Structure 1
Amino acid sequence: MRVGVPPRNRRELLRKTLWIGVWLVFLNAPVQDLVSGRHTPGATAAGWLGLGAFVAAYLALVFRNMGRPFSGRRITALIVVLALLASLLAATLGHAWLGLFVYVAVVCGAVLPPRAAYGAIPATAAVMLLIGLHVGVRQAHDLILLVLLVGFAMTGVSQLVRTTVELRQARATVAQLAANEERLRLARDLHDLLGHSLSLITLKSELAGRMLPGHPDKAAQQVADIEQVSRQALVDVREAVSGYRRPRMATELAGAQVALAAAGVTAQMPAEADLADVPEDSESALAWVLREAITNVVRHSGAGRCTVELLRRQTLDGSVLELAVEDDGSGGSGGGPGNGLTGLAERLETVGGTLEASRVRHGFRLVARVPAPAPADVGSGA
């Protein structure tokens, strides 16, 4: 379950609802009090109405970030309503209702700023103790420590959520800055590559235009030079673009870690990539496989855990570098390999590699292998 963000689908909404529903156990005492028959019909009806209003206000605060977030004034008003309902119900219906102050402390710790929560939680405990003097001193003494502990614990959880949200925002900012820097670098490199060539083409075009009427042979030589320069510029641009488009395994591993964390997927990644003496084309092919696999995990699998392994293996056909990506999700929809897997298989074939995709007991597993000479074998062919 993702922390600090609204649920994206029904599955996440159900998880969050179940997690919140566990804490409704403290309503057991008020409900038993209402069904016990100890109160008059009017008091029982009023108790049910008050309890329903209390739970509605509590859930509204818990799900405050779904849809349009609540304003500060609305949050404060709902907390005041919770405190007044808890006080009124406990004072009129008895000590069984003192547990409602636990919810008031939880909400104070969860939604208020730390400074306000540090004052509101002890105040909630004090109000409960004062009401307990009239309806049940022993029960109030039993609950006061719980109110304080749960309330202050929720301030810690709330701070953790805020830190997580700020971390996500910082990651997004860093990614945006990195993308901007990459655009600037690409612009500088293209300027360096094409600036001289285009200037030379312009100059020779002007010379050819001047020479064309009286010296067609010299003009033809200038046109031939223009063709040669333009062809070389085209080669340089293609090499530069190819270098930009070639992914690196280290970069893809770091990106996979960030993507999985942002999607709320528990990731187990290799500590480092052993890519010694691995050809660039083979490394690039594996990096494409990792990118496609992580994209599928994040977008389609609904997984909660993903394991990435990168290691060398010795097979009958020689040493290979193996990349394995396994998750505990559904593997997406469809009964056959999609266009993404087909494209990856074709890409691996160009470097002599193979691709295997299969469902496992608790999810989906993708294995890619490319030939990789062992470091000890390099230079031993002499």
Structure 2
Amino acid sequence: MTEDPLTEEGRRDQLIPLGQSPGNRRDLFLRKMLWIGVWLVFLSAPVHDLVSGNHTTGATVAGWFGLAVFVGVYLTLVFRDMGRVVTTRRVGGLIVVIGVLATLLTLTLGAPWLALYCYVSVACGATLPLRAALWAIPGTAGVMLLAGLRVGEQHALDLLILVILIGFAMTGVVQLVRTTIELRKARATVAQLAANEERLRLARDLHDLLGHSLSLITLKSELAGRMLPDHPDKAAQQVADIEQVSRQALVDVREAVTGYRRPRLAAELAGAQVALTAAGVTAEVPAEPDLTGVPEDGESALAWALREAVTNVVRHSGAQKCAVEVLRRQTLDGAVLELSVEDDGPGGPVKGPGNGLTGLTERLEKVGGTLEAGRVRHGFRLVARVPVDTAGT
């Protein structure tokens, strides 16, 4: 949580947290390759069988060709979303192709090729709708069992359990990914609805503030126009009233806009939880704090400090954990409300306070508060304090 940002290239080279959506096609490709790499271990058995010299030259060539076709079709299924969208019928056809290839290779080359059924099961769980996968995965396991018994594999029952387990495990992963995508979409929708509601509320408040004032100004303007030829003194009085009403309306509008622009600490705490979690940072954020006796300007200053601190944690710190605390403390100068934000990130090179910390210091000083920020043993810590009015408590 330092003020000096990492370079753009440095941030790009960092590993993307799994909680974030991929930012481009390269990230998507790398993530899918990560999932594929888990299952490539099952290729060791057929590859070892081909290089061991147990088959004739023709059978070995045919085995390599069949294995290459099998892997190519499997990868097509796994990466189906990276290119054009394929239909369910095409997905089913490709699964049938690799299922037939796995059966032919097993029956002709022997028991080591039973491992290919693991890929068929994974493809069923990763590509088919859930209802279809619930039938396809046990079906794949059943075909594998029959082929295993045909080639004399003694551990066919163990492989049966493995094929079923990895297939259903992949269905769970797919459902988790789909739920995460839907959650991101729902979060964006909620944010948009909240923004729309805020605009409507602002429109209603401005209408309530200005409706009466503008009507009164219009009425007095018409009245002043009629009085102007014969009663200039009364017309001047109406113009003075118009000026007074206009000034009051301007004050009301400024107060309303200022109220909307002023951040609230509770809202910033909720936003901090969402931002840190989305960035893959383990967050410890308190619930709505007790703001009794805290002036609005002091609360606003703490909210700005929290926003700046969380932004720095997300963008620059490289932290894995971040703890936010809001506590009341008694100091020699009186009671204060203290906000602390501490992370465990290495951060970047420190070259002195940046514009963000300087602006926060000035903002807190205006409300009688203080700001402390600097490196600690395992990261960076920011502490902001504002005075609490205990006279009315």
TM-score category (smaller protein): 0.7 to 0.9
| Residues 1:125 and 2:113 aligned together | no
**Cα separation, 2, equivalents of 1:19 and 1:325:** 35
Residues 4 and 118 from structure 1, CA distance in 2 versus in 1: closer, same or farther, beyond 3 angstroms?
A: farther
Alignment deviations for residues 242-285 of structure 1 (CA, whole Å, 9 cap, x no partner): 11111211112222223333444432221342323222211111
Q: What is the aligned partner in structure 1 of residue 255 from structure 2? A: 239
Which residue pairs with 1:215 in the alignment?
231
CA contact 1:108–1:120 (8 Å) conserved in 2: yes
Deviations 1:3-37 (A, max 9, x none): 69445586786566445423322222222222222
> Match of 2:384, SS?
strand
- Indicate conservation of the 8 Å contact 1:4/1:165, yes or no: no
In the alignment, structure 1 segments of 5+ residues that lack a partner are none
> What residue number does 1:55 align with?
71
For 2:377 and 2:323, the matched residues in 1 are separated by 14
Q: Is the 8 A contact 2:293 2:392 kept in 1?
A: no
Q: Could you say if the C-alpha distance between residues 37 and 361 of structure 1 is closer, same or farther in structure 2, counting changes exceeding 3 Å? A: farther
Contact 2:321–2:344 at 8 Å: present in 1 too?
yes
Q: How does 1:111-122 map to 2 (within 5 A)?
A: 111-122=127-138
Are positions 1:172 and 2:157 aligned together? no
Query: Kindly, what percent of the aligned residue pairs are identical?
Result: 75
Question: Cα distance, 1:227 vs. partner?
Answer: 0.9
Which of 262, 270, 292 in structure 1 is aligned with 2:286? 270
Give 1:232 deviation, angstroms.
Answer: 0.3
Assess if the C-alpha contact under 8 Å between 2:124 and 2:133 holds in 1.
yes
| Alpha-carbon separation, structure 2, partners of 1:305 and 1:70 | 41
Match of 2:310 in 1: 294
Letter in structure 1 aligned against 2:384: A
AA matched with 1:104 = V
1:85 shift after superposition:
3.0
Distance in 2, matches of 1:169 and 1:9, equals: 19
In structure 2, the CA distance between the partners of 1:46 and 1:189, relative to structure 1 (3 Å rule), is same
Cα 1:333–1:98 shift into 2, 3 Å = farther
- Equivalent of 1:194 in 210, 213, 217: 210
> Structure 1 residues 98, 185: CA separation in 2 closer, same or farther (over 3 Å shift)?
same
Q: Is the contact made by 2:335 and 2:388 (CA closer than 8 Å) also made in structure 1?
A: yes
Q: Deviations over 1:128-174 (max 9, x none)?
A: 11221222331322200111122123223322332232222222222
Assess if the C-alpha contact under 8 Å between 1:101 and 1:125 holds in 2: yes
1:326-378 CA distances to partner (integer Å, 9 max, x unpaired)?
345564798554443333232222122233443456654433222335xxx54
- Partner residue, 1:22: 38
Aligned twin of 2:367? 351
Task: Give the AA of the match of 2:96.
Answer: V
Which structure has the higher relative contact order (CA within 8 Å, separation 6+)? 2
Q: Does 1:252 align with 2:268?
A: yes
Higher alpha-carbon deviation: 59-68 or 123-132:
59-68
Q: Secondary structure at the match of 2:154?
A: helix
CA distance in 2, matches of 1:295, 1:320: 24
Q: CA deviation at 1:83?
A: 2.1
Do 2:20 and 2:279's aligned partners in 1 also have CA atoms closer than 8 Å? no
How far apart, in 2, do the equivalents of 1:274 and 1:116 lie? 53
Choose the corresponding residue for 2:151, options 120, 135, 146.
135
Deviates more, 1:322-331 or 1:125-134: 322-331
Q: Secondary structure at the match of 1:2?
A: coil
The answer to whether the 8 A contact 2:283-2:323 is kept is yes
For the residue of structure 1 that corresponds to 2:156, the secondary structure is helix
Q: Distance in 1 between matches of 2:357 and 2:71?
A: 49
2:277 is the counterpart of 1:261: yes
Give the corresponding residue for 1:306.
Answer: 322
Q: How far apart, CA to CA, are the structure 1 residues paired with 2:353 and 2:25? A: 26
Mapped to 2, the partners of 1:53 and 1:302 lie a distance apart of 43
Structure-1-length-normalised TM-score: 0.86
SS at match of 1:131: helix
User: Of the candidates 99, 110, 120, which is equivalent to residue 94 of structure 1?
Assistant: 110
Which residue type is aligned with residue 189 of structure 1?
D
- The CA RMSD over aligned residues, in Å, is 3.0
Return the match for 2:166 from 150, 153, 159: 150
TM-score, normalised to structure 2's length? 0.84
Which residue does the alignment assign to 2:18? 2
The runs of 5 or more residues in structure 2 that have no matched partner are 1-16
